[in-house]
Amino acid sequence: MSLTHSELASDCLIGQNDTVNKVKAFSNEQYDRKFDYRFMEALRNHVQHYGAAIHFFRPSQELVGKEAGHLEYQYDVLAKRVNLAEDSKFKATVLKEMPEEVSLRAAAREYVESISAIHENIRQLISAVVDVARQDIEAAHLRHKTLNPAASSTAIAAVALDGDEVRETVPLLLDWDDVRIQLQRRNPHLANLAIRHVTTRTGSYPKKPVSVSPGHDA
C-alpha cells in the first residue's frame, strides 16, 4: 500500500486543512492534465495486484549528427493495451484513452516529473512552518547550552503534561531535519525531465562515418 502525497502532507500539517487541500488540488491538476501521470498511476496498481508492466521490447537504430556521422542505437520498453485489458480491475477510463502501446521510458519520465512538481509544491507550502519549527528548536538548544554547557543536546525534549503527570515526551533533535535539508539539496525540482535523456554520444561528430576493420582498434 502506498501513501498519496496529500496523506503524507496531512501527517506533517495537522490542523492546517487549507494547506492539505492545496496539495490535493495541485496533485489533482497534475493527474487531470497529463495522460502519462494517469497511466502510470493505473499501471502501478496493475503491477501491485495483477501482472507485469512490460509487454515487449523495441530496439532501433538511427543515423544522427552532422552529415549523419553517428549511428545511434535505442532500446524501448512498452506496455500494450490488449494485455492490460485482460486485467478487469485496470482503470477503465485510462484504458479507454490509452493508445495501442505506450512507451514506458517516456511515460516514466513524465510521471517522475509530475511527482517532482508535487513535491516542490509541498516544499513551498510548508517551508514557512518548517523554518519556524527549526528556529524554535535551535533556540531551545542554545538556551540549554547556555545554562548547561557540559550537557548533551539529546537531553532536550518537549513534554505534554496532564496536571503534574507526563503524558508524552518528544526529543527535540535536529538530526532528521538535517537529513531533510540534505535530501532537498540532492533532489531539486526536475523540470523538463520528459525531454531529457542520457547518452554516451561523443562531444563532436566526425564529418563522415569512420570505418573500422574487424580486429583493429579505432
Q: Tell me: the pLDDT tens digits for 174-215?
A: 999 999 999 999 999 998 888 887 777 766 555 554 444 444
Segment 162-176, tens digit of pLDDT: 998 999 998 889 999
Confidence of residue 2 (pLDDT cuts 50, 70, 90): very low
Say if residue 6's pLDDT is above 60: no
Q: Is residue 140 helix, strand or coil?
A: helix
Asked if residues 26 and 120 have their Cβ atoms less than 8 Å apart, the reply is no
pLDDT at 9 over 80: no
Angstrom distance (rounded) from CA 124 to CA 19: 10
Return d(Cα 57, Cα 79) in angstroms, integer: 9
39: Cβ contacts below 8 Å, ≥ 6 apart: 94, 98, 102, 107
Residue type, 97: E
Q: Where are the domains of the chain?
A: 5-195
Q: What is the pLDDT of residue 10?
A: 57
Nine-digit cell string for 93: 477510463
Q: What is the pTM of this model?
A: 0.75
Q: Average pLDDT of 152-164?
A: 85
Q: What is the mean pLDDT of the chain?
A: 84
* Amino acid 70: pLDDT: 79
Residue 218 has a pLDDT of 38
Phi, psi of 136 (to 5 degrees): -65, -40
pLDDT over 50 (residue 102): yes
Enumerate the β-bridge partners of residue 70: 64
